Amino acid sequence: MNHVEIWERCLAMIRDNVSPQIYKTWFAPIKPLRLEGTVLTIRVPSQFFYEWLEENYVALLRRTVRHHLGPDARLMYDVVIAQTENAHPQTVNMPTLNAEAGRTTQQLMSMPLNKSIPNPNVIPGLKKVTLDPQLNPMFTFETLIEGDCNRLARNAAMAISRNPGETAYNPFFIFGGVGLGKTHLVHAIGNQVRFYYPGKIVLYVQTERFIQQFVEASKTGGAHDFVANYQAVDVLIMDDIQFMAGKDKTQDVFFHLFNHLHQNRKQIILTADTLPRELSQFEERLKSRFGGGLLAELKTPGEDTRAAILRTKTRNEGLDFPDNVIDYIARRINSNVRELEGALISLIAQSSFNGREINLELAESVVKSFTQTTTKELTIDQIQKIVSDYFNLGVDKMKDPVRRREYVQPRQIAMHFSKDYTKASLKTIGHHFGGRDHSTVIHALRTVKNLQATDKTFRKHVEDIQKIIENYGYGN
């Protein structure tokens, strides 16, 4: 028997063990490629598809293949990698069924655009290191849907990719709320630069990781090596730069690194949750340099863009969703891309685990449950805006060090609701209120509790703000 005949027999056995919907979604799209001895290779349409099979149906696959090819049988996946702007579709072979647990032995690190690149510019005599670009190969411009919410940032990012360090967009400062695609966009730049310029050193690093690296290097006497290796980078991508707030020594090192890279026409890309001038506990000289290139805001995508994102996501993952389901999810989930994709995954899980058809009825059930579990997730910035509007104050007064009562009490109320309505730690809450420490937040929480019990006017303020929050659709 050839590979097609063997796979047809496997499918017949699988069909008897799963629901029609699961078969249609997860097994019908698979294509047999070849049979070499007892190794059967099948093609699956995406990395997500492959991971879902391995997570949920590997035991069934193992049993089925071994039934038809013997106890030594192995199954190889040929995983289609999403097509990029300047490359043909690629595949990567992923073996499975060669361990009792069914886990793979070859990981995605073997995929293009994710291998380590030796650093050819390390200063002689210093400790040589290999800089892994830390880029996600799945984050490309093709998988980042353009809309009014990101058009400026996306077009600028593509221009930077074609000519890094040589445009007026240096530094490129991207800001916006959580889940709007900042990380996706900067990874897309890095991947595209590496396609156009294989010899350039691209490095993506989260700011918290940068801080940790600097602290460790300082403790071990390796600060000089640390700086020298970062100076060798051609494209430096720093994600969530706001977490450098209050880190004076790290800011000083980054200031000199920034100057070195900029003066040598190296590309600098930064992301944050706010504009440079609104970054608290940052040196003015850094904020000035952050704002010296292009500032691009990512906003919440509109309904049409959300629908396009969902269609692209399902198509890239090899999944077939009815248009009315896509449109319904796009209409009901309107917060950010991350929650949009979370709702999609929830729908896939409900369909697969319960053997239900993906239709509007199931989508309504899943989205209702999904939104109920996420409605409490107000952001601290939103809470500050609600409280400042109620008291007719500027949001900046929430962060000022001024101790006047008309500023202190609104600030304490905002801290109270930040603790109640977000998952943020006390330290994170304090950071959003002008860099205050956790003990200040604890004091504010106690004060609000005490004043609600003793001050009728204060209690009325808290109750009014509670109602405003609930009117926004958030519940305790």
Q: In the predicted model, what is the mean pLDDT of residues 170-194?
A: 89
Name the residue type at position 341: E
Residues forming CATH 1.10.1750.10 domain(s) in the chain: 380-471
Backbone angles phi, psi at 37, to 5 degrees: 65, -115
**pLDDT score recorded for residue 326:** 84
Q: Are 416 and 476 in contact (CB under 8 A)?
A: no
**pLDDT score recorded for residue 370:** 61
> What CATH number does the domain located at 303-374 have?
1.10.8.60
> What CATH number does the domain located at 380-471 have?
1.10.1750.10
Q: Are 190 and 313 in contact (CB under 8 A)?
A: no
Residues forming CATH 3.30.300.180 domain(s) in the chain: 3-108
Question: Whole-angstrom Cα distance, residue 91 to residue 112?
Answer: 10
CA 270 to chain centre: 15
Question: Whole-angstrom Cα distance, residue 329 to residue 377?
Answer: 19
For the cut 70, the answer to whether the pLDDT of residue 94 exceeds it is no
Q: Give residue-wise pLDDT tens across range 432-452.
A: 888 888 778 888 998 998 898
Q: Which is the CATH superfamily of the domain at 3-108?
A: DnaA, N-terminal domain (3.30.300.180)
Q: In the predicted model, what is the mean pLDDT of residues 349-359?
A: 74
Q: Give residue-wise pLDDT tens across range 289-299.
A: 998 888 988 88
Q: Which of 83-92, 116-125, 258-267, 422-431 has the lowest mean pLDDT?
A: 116-125
**pLDDT score recorded for residue 87:** 40
pLDDT-based confidence at 118, cuts 50/70/90? very low
Question: Whole-angstrom Cα distance, residue 290 to residue 304?
Answer: 32
pLDDT-based confidence at 131, cuts 50/70/90? low
383-388-393 Cα angle (round to 5): 165
Please give the CATH architecture assigned to the domain spanning 117-297. 3-Layer(aba) Sandwich (3.40)
Closest CA to 137 of 112, 103, 162: 112
pLDDT-based confidence at 372, cuts 50/70/90? low
Residues forming CATH 3.40.50.300 domain(s) in the chain: 117-297
For the cut 50, the answer to whether the pLDDT of residue 411 exceeds it is yes
**pLDDT score recorded for residue 81:** 60
Between 465 and 300, the higher pLDDT residue: 465
Local structure of 327: helix, strand or coil: helix
Phi-psi region of 336 (alpha: psi -120 to 50; beta: other; left: phi over 0): beta
Question: Whole-angstrom Cα distance, residue 188 to residue 202?
Answer: 12
CA 103 to chain centre: 25
